[in-house]
Every structure is written in structure tokens, then in C-alpha cells.
Amino acid sequence: MASNSNAAKTTVFRNLDWIVGWDADAREHIYLNGGDLAFKGNALVHVGGRYAGRADTERDGKGLMAMPGLINLHAHPCLETIYRGIREDHGVPEQYMAGLFERSMAYWPDDEGSVAAAESAFVELLQSGVTTVVDISFDYTGWIELIAKSGLRGYVAPAYASARWHVEVPQRVDYRWDEARGRQRFAQSLDLIDTAMRHPSGRLSGVVSPAQIDTCTEDLLRDSFAAAKERKIPFTVHAAQAMNEFLEMVRRHGKTPVQFAADLGILGPTTIVGHGIFIDEHSWTNWHSRRDLGLLAETRTSVAHCPSPFARYGVTLETFGKYVAAGVNVGLGTDVAPHNLIEEMRLAAVLSRVSGRDIRAGSTTAVFNAATVGGANALGRSDLGRLAPGAKADLVLVDLAHPLMMPVRDPLRSLVFSAAERAVREVYVDGVQVVREGRALTIDPMPALERLAEAQRRMEAAVPERDPRKRTSEQVAPLALRRVQ
């Protein structure tokens, strides 16, 4: 998609029933009942009350709620949709229920599969109200052009590492190191990020992304952090995401992954820790210290919380509400298909209440903040995640007449707990409409999904060659029901 060609044109939505506005003094979202919303080019110029300025386009806002576009702080679009039907029940009890290590060995898409997965994922993101995504992927053909075409505000985060996981037997995860390859991929990732940042759409940026804290050397992590600082862009790394990783870092360094990162000097206001679940006070770790939350808060490090993939293993953050109360900036991500951040909000709230045994541990307010300003803060963007004059015209229009939104006593609660993406009617990114009547305008998903199905069949056929125990795909990840020919 090209850059915004309507730079001088003003669009006004008149008489919106509800607006999720932004109180800059209180630094909080607020409800505005009735009023107009206007944007000129790619920036908001008016939120709430009557807009008296000139308008090139006027739209009736009756029956709609306007809210800020959602920010997905952690996603893998080139992978997750191809795992549909494979990942949902897949986990290895000997690896503390995680399926990550085994799955990354046994299943891997080819380049065409990655493209098809990304296309379908971008549609899911848009249709669920996401306007900004941190896309942590491995380089595939046409990545930058595809994310630009989607209309999303994209932060490309090409992943690289010094080692690969290797699982010969279920009770052990080994590491196969190739530091030269990691360095080569690091250099390539920086080139890709620099290319994205020069893209004429103006919507693309980058995040420096060494893949996992346990698969990268100390030097590679330090140099990656320095490269992000030099470019004035965020830095992200998967850390404290699995018990195997926690135990491996303790074995190597005698400290938790968060403490290791702090001592290495890679925490800070521009750092996003992917997941950050297994900290020293998590009930599964039984560790002696209670320092990790404080380190995250003191360094102003952000955590990208992705409830769904871990809940499928029987794991959760302990707790979302506790992290927020400790002063940690938390954003939300998907990390799994479907790429539906509204469903992640719901799950984050419910799991926090369950694990914290307290309904106050996961409020609608807190999870909505995480999906908007929490993500914006992590990216260093005060012009995203809020509806206020001067912010980018990234917004979502919600259909209040949708049956699952009614009665409309509290529209955000209805959206998060009932309607989800089904009530998302229109989405704008940078002042350009990318969703109309709930359908993405930039990518037709059906051709991508048909290619995705073929790519999944190819991926499954290759499982016996990739799996060290030579199992078939249905042996690694059995179907939900017994197949009868």
C-alpha cells in the first residue's frame, strides 16, 4: 500500500455514540458519549464534541464506537497460521508441557508457506482491530513489500540466533551452536530493518530481535542491544518463556534469565521481554530470590504478554495484575493463531483473576491499556494507542448494533468479553481505511489460505525427515479424534 495520498483531506465522523478518548493530564482512556472525531491526512485533529472545521468527507457515526487501534507487541505471522490444527494440543510433559522445542524441529514451513501464513495472519490482525504489529519472523521472500501492502503499521523484527534447539529425547533440550551463522544473520537482519525504515509508506520501522536469550551468545546480545540503541529503535528477546530455558540459564550462569539480562545490560526503556513468565517468584521455578519484577520495573523494561499459547500448555503469568501493580509496562501480543488481540485481552483478564484468586487482578481497563498505550509505550510512540489530537489516525469503529454488543451499557466490556472481532466494522491505519464491513480491503485471504493448506501438507510430509525419532506428523501431534478409514 502506498503512502497516504489524502494528506490534505479531512474526514469527520459525526455523532458517534461512544468514543474512547484520551485524557492527557490523567494519562488514561475515558468514555465520551456522543461527539465527532476528525482526522486530516494521517493525524487526528479533533476528538469529542462538535467539530466546526472544514471537512472533505463526513460520515454518520450513529451506532458506532470509535476506539484506538490495537497494538500487537509480539507476533509471528509467517509461522502461526500454518500450525493451525497442529499446535493447539501439542506439548511435551518432559519439557514442562511446552511443545515449542519439539515443534520447531519437526515442523517448519517452506518459503511459499511462510508467505501464505503471513498473508492470512495480516488479515486476522486487521479484522480484529490491530493497527500496529511487531512482526518477529524469519526472512522470507517479499516480507517488507507484503507487510506494506497489508496496510498495517509494521515493526519488522527479523529473528536470528547463535544456536538451534535440538531434541533427541523428550527429557532433554540440547543446543547446536553456530556463532558465525548467528553473526551473519544478525548483519542481514540489520540490513532488512534499515530497508524497512526507508520504505516510502512511512508506516514501517524495525525492532532488533535476537531470537531467545538461551540461544544467543552474550556478545551477540550486547551487540544487538547496541545496534538498537544506535538506530533509536526497540530491542526484543524471548526470555523467561519456558521452564527448560529457566533451568538452562541457571545451569549456565547461576541466575534467572531476567537477572542474567540485567547483569548483561540489555534491560531498559527500549527493551521488550517476550513473555517474561518464569521469573524468580513464579510458582513453578521455586527459586530463592524475589528480584525479577523489581528489575523489570526499575529498568522500565516492557513485557509482551501473550496469554493463549502458554495457557494451552497449562501455564500463565503470575499474574498480569501483579506485574502492572509492580510498575512493569505490559503490552499484549498473540504469538499464536488466531491473531486476535481482543481474545487475548479477555484471556489475560480471566487468567490473571484465576491465578491471582482476585477479580481485581485483571480488569477490562488494565488489559485494554496493555493492548493500546502499553504497546505504544514499549515502542516509544506517544502518538499511537490513543485517540487524541496529534496522534496518528489509527482507529477502529465498533458496531454497537451487533447482537453480542447489546445492551450497550459498557461497550469495552461487551467487546472484550462477548463480541470480540465480530463487532469490528471499520479500521483505519495512518488515515487510510483498511477494513470495511469487517473485511480486509488490502489482502484477499482465500487464495492465501488455499496456498497455506498446500504448504501445510508439504510441511507435514517432511516431518519424518526432520524429527530425530522419525515420527510422522500424526505421531507427533495426533488428531483430536481417532481416524477411521
The answer to whether residue 450 sits within a structural domain is no
Q: What CATH number did the domain enclosing 63 receive?
A: 2.30.40.10
Tens digit of pLDDT for each residue in 10-25?
A: 999 999 999 999 999 9
User: Do 310 and 372 share a structural domain?
Assistant: yes
Q: How far is CA 457 from the centre of its chain?
A: 27
Tens digit of pLDDT for each residue in 182-202?
A: 999 999 999 999 999 999 999
User: Do 90 and 198 share a structural domain?
Assistant: yes
DSSP 272-291: EEEE--S-TTSTTT--S---
Cross-strand partners of 302: 272, 329
User: Do 268 and 249 share a structural domain?
Assistant: yes
Q: Would the pTM count as exceeding 0.95?
A: yes
The answer to whether residue 352 sits within a structural domain is yes
Please identify, among 360, 378, 396, the residue that sits at the C-terminal boundary of a domain.
378
User: Do 429 and 340 share a structural domain?
Assistant: no
The answer to whether residue 280 sits within a structural domain is yes
Tens digit of pLDDT for each residue in 345-390?
A: 999 999 999 999 999 999 999 999 999 999 999 999 999 999 999 9
User: Do 225 and 320 share a structural domain?
Assistant: yes
Residue of 124, 98, 91, 100 lying closest to 452 (CA atoms): 124
User: Do 258 and 179 share a structural domain?
Assistant: yes
The answer to whether residue 452 sits within a structural domain is no
User: Do 76 and 64 share a structural domain?
Assistant: no
pLDDT at 1: 41
The answer to whether residue 478 sits within a structural domain is no
Q: How many domains, the chain? A: 2
Strands 329-332 and 302-305: parallel
CB 174 within 8 A of CB 164: no
Cell representation of residue 192: 532488512
pLDDT at 4: 53
User: Do 161 and 89 share a structural domain?
Assistant: yes
User: Do 198 and 283 share a structural domain?
Assistant: yes
Q: Which domain holds residue 403?
A: 10-68+388-439
Please identify, among 378, 398, 425, the residue that sits at the C-terminal boundary of a domain.
378
Question: 73 Cβ partners below 8 Å, 6+ apart?
Answer: 134, 272, 302, 304, 331, 332, 333, 374, 375, 378, 379
Quick one: angle between helices 143-150 and 111-127, nearest 10? 20
Sign of the C-alpha dihedral, residues 385, 388, 391, 395?
positive
Alpha helices in 178-298 (DSSP H): 179-197, 218-231, 243-253, 257-264, 292-298
Q: What CATH number did the domain enclosing 204 receive?
A: 3.20.20.140
User: Do 258 and 182 share a structural domain?
Assistant: yes
Q: Averaged over 456-474, what is the pLDDT?
A: 97
The answer to whether residue 266 sits within a structural domain is yes
Please identify, among 354, 378, 402, the residue that sits at the C-terminal boundary of a domain.
378
Cβ of 178: how many Cβ atoms within 10 Å?
A: 13
E-only strand ranges, 377-456: 395-399, 424-429, 432-436, 439-440
Sign of the C-alpha dihedral, residues 316, 317, 322, 325?
negative
- Measure the CA–CA gap between 103 and 176, rounded to whole angstroms: 16
pLDDT at 5: 53
Tens digit of pLDDT for each residue in 30-81?
A: 999 989 999 999 999 999 999 999 999 999 999 999 999 999 999 999 999 9
User: Do 133 and 209 share a structural domain?
Assistant: yes
User: Do 59 and 170 share a structural domain?
Assistant: no
The answer to whether residue 446 sits within a structural domain is no
Residue of 273, 256, 278, 283 lying closest to 355 (CA atoms): 283
Identify the residue whose cell numbers are 492470512: 120
| Residue 164: pLDDT over 50 | yes
- Measure the CA–CA gap between 324 and 276, rounded to whole angstroms: 13
